[in-house]
Structure 1
Amino acid sequence: MISLHGLTKVFPGGVRALDDLDLEIGDGEFFALLGPSGCGKTTLLRTIAGLETPTSGTVAIGGTDVTNAPPGRRDVAMVFQDYALFPHMDVVDNIAYPLRIKKVPRAERRAKAAETAARLSLSELLDRRPGQLSGGQQQRVALARAVACRPKVFLFDEPLSNLDARLRLEARTFLKRLQRELGVTTVFVTHDQGEALALADRIAVMSGGRLAQVGTPAEVFQRPADLFVASFIGSTPMNLLPGRVVDGGLHVAGATLPVPAGLADGDEITYGVRPEYTDLSTTPRPDAFPGHVVVLENLGTAHLVTVENGDTIVQAVVPEGSEPEPGAAVWAVPRQDRALVYRDGTLLPSDPVPAVASDLPAAGTGQGI
């Protein structure tokens, strides 16, 4: 278990990378740190590893305070974005290097390295150097090096970002399976929502050195806690539309919708609904957003349809074969059971949406992630 309490990191010049952060990561959990560049996720990972010293706060691993402990005494293994393999060493020596630092006898460390390499399908590559390997092979060598020393914690700093799209899909499936087999607590930094949703047991969405939301992939995808998370999660961004309660109705972008509990006449809100939960109608409806189709984007098994009405833009995902023609008049119909309402940037409380398998898109579809 990893426990972080009051963690703050201020760099010279007053840059506050971490701001009084509290977080608990469970034993054996696959935990993702997700956020845009500069949000503090890599600084947090490096602070857990001992590569950065916090300005204030504590870091505990397995119940032991390691705030001031050097990296070598934390029993963690880190896989970097560029893999950080030694170019002059062959694969077996790269894998065995952490054991060499621990002064494990040569024969024993090479045997453990060979055993670990076999688990990762690297046995045929033991005599090669990193320059003779593909990106996917180098990534597996970096993983093998982390696995060989049997750490308490794996720390991954965007380890898949240098791979092409197809290899990334294969690698993340392999990575999750490996973590499940080993049962090692894992912290995974990424800016890719697809990776976080596909891999993690829980996700922390970070912004400005703070935790915007912590929850399961279903919770973060279905019920973003605030407008930042709502706008960040989703490769097809959530439709976020201004609205106002007038005469007992919620008026949003030309539609009149039911008024959620807790709102009264005059209240101004932001209405959110994902394109995946937005249907299209060719006949007028009072509970739909009117407009004309301006863009069609082919997603493979579906189309992303952009509907415009003046300054208002709404997007909907429709199955292939049912997409309207560009220029057609349509009404975008939000599914009321999937819509969200934000007041002052924060999600209004309501009964949680039940998690169903269809709510999270399948890995690799490119829809909603």
Structure 2
Amino acid sequence: MSAIDLVRLSKVYPGGVTALDGVELAIADGEFFALLGPSGCGKTTLLRTIAGLEEATGGAVLIGGDDVTALPPGRRDVAMVFQDYALFPHMTVTDNIAYPLRIRQVGGAERRAKAAGTAGELGLDALLERRPAQLSGGQQQRVALARAMACHPRAFLLDEPLSNLDARMRLEARTFLKRLQRELRITCVFVTHDQAEALALADRVAGMEDGRVRQVGTPAEVFRRPANTFVASFIGSTPMNLLEGEVREGGRVAVGPAEVPGGPGAGALAPGDPVVYGVRPEYLTYAGEPTGGAFSGEVTVVENLGSAQLVTLDGESGSIQVVVDEDTEVAPGTAAWAVPRPDRVLLYRDGALVP
């Protein structure tokens, strides 16, 4: 078993800087788990603490039920793939893959055989005698993964391994990485600040802010029902619209001059309660003529997303973004309305989601 359990894990650097603040996580055996958050939120520190490259100030790290908090990195039986891949430039692909086996004093013939076998699984057969400078970014990434796989670790720890690739290669590598993890059925902890990567790859996602875990859930859960305004503003390729409002009679919410549906959460609040009104751009319907229960404004920005357009309306209710079908004609400077889907509206009180 290679489940990873973090119990009240903390990390405080000299000078009183708190990088991890009582982190509690239970990562299941064979799960692809993503740590997602902005720069400086503590996600890489958390990964390095699991690996043993950072010493925990408090709490415990358990891998497969074993407390490894005090063990050095080499005795934790995990493999880490770094953002810059950390390949040895003077070594061939074979020697790079075999290096961890060499450290474990595996015989030369055996480690070369294992390196060749692992390389074959990742389509590196023809590159075994090349050095890193002779490889593309995607090939270097596969060599780094092969080096991690060669020791058959209990878990993979991946620190933004796709960030150095161009957009097209990143998509290909993302698909490859998910297929590889499914085939190996190995526990994988993946650090990223890219919401699309986290939602596409992970079985579950932990949203992190200021050294704390703000929400844990499946990609669908954190996208559809963010637990707080931080997760709501961070998750999604187009940020959620978050607008100050006030609850009205009949389950409606006033946002500036607009009165719009309050959604399922409105029933738990009283008229006059202040709220933050949340609705994703994907859950707004664009209208080119006046309609009730809608936000009104002037089209100020139209961004082409390929199969859709992201339209920004500026009005008395604030700045609102709505995703519009590619075939709809939208011109800057025109009046428009955005109608929220009532079943997709979320209300937040004191930063937390109203159930």
TM-score (norm 1): 0.93
What corresponds to 1:336 in structure 2? 342
Aligned to 1:149: 151
Instruction: Summarize the alignment of residues 134-213 of structure 1 with structure 2, pairs less than 5 Å apart.
Output: 134-213=136-215
What residue number does 1:284 align with?
Answer: 290
Q: What is the match of residue 54 of structure 1?
A: 56
In 2, Cα distance between equivalents of 1:267 and 1:141: 56
Cα-to-partner distance string for 1:268-311 (whole Å, 9 max, x where unaligned):
00111111111111222230001111111111111111111147
2:254 to 251, 257, 260: 251
CA deviation string 1:80-118 (max 9, x = no partner): 000000111100000001111111111011001001111
Letter in 1 for 2:38: P
Counterpart contact for 1:239–1:272, Cα < 8 Å: yes
- Within 2, Cα distance between the matches of 1:241 and 1:310? 11
Which of 111, 117, 125 is the aligned partner of 1:123? 125
Superposed, 1:55-134 pairs within 5 Å as 55-134=57-136
d(CA) in 2 for partners of 1:295, 1:253: 21
Give the corresponding residue for 1:302. 308
Alpha-carbon distance in structure 2 between the residues aligned to 1:123 and 1:335:
52
Partner Cα separation in structure 2 for residue 255 and residue 10 of structure 1: 47
Contact 1:271 1:341 survives alignment (8 Å): yes
Structure 1 position 323 matched with structure 2 position 329: yes
User: 1:80 is matched by which residue type in structure 2?
Assistant: F
The number of aligned residues is 349
**Residue ranges of structure 1 left out of the alignment (5+ in a row):** 350-369
Supply the distance in 1 between the matched residues of 2:106 and 2:225 (Cα, whole angstroms): 49
Paired letter, 1:265: P
Task: Provide the C-alpha distance between the structure 2 equivalents of 1:262 and 1:317, rounded to a whole number of angstroms.
Answer: 29
Tell me which stretches of 4 or more aligned residues in structure 1 moved more than 6 Å. Answer: none
Shift of 1:258: 3.9
Task: Map Cα deviations across residues 144-199 of structure 1 (whole Å, 9 max, x no partner).
Answer: 00011100000000011000000000001000101111111000000000110000
Q: Secondary structure at the match of 1:261?
A: helix
Q: Which moved more, 1:200-209 or 1:235-244?
A: 235-244
Tell me, yes or no, if the aligned pair for 1:241 and 1:253 is still in contact at 8 Å. Answer: no
Deviation at 1:253, TM superposition (A): 3.5
Once superposed, what is the RMSD of the aligned Cα atoms? 1.1
State the AA in 1 paired with 2:331.
E
Which stretch shows the higher mean deviation, 310-319 or 37-46? 310-319
What residue is the counterpart of 1:231 in the other structure? Answer: 233
For residue 247 of structure 1, report the CA deviation from its aligned partner.
4.7
- Describe the SS at the equivalent of 2:268: coil
Amino acid at match of 1:35: G
Distance in 2, matches of 1:247 and 1:338, equals 19
2:327 is the counterpart of 1:312:
no
User: Structure 2 length as normaliser, TM-score?
Assistant: 0.96
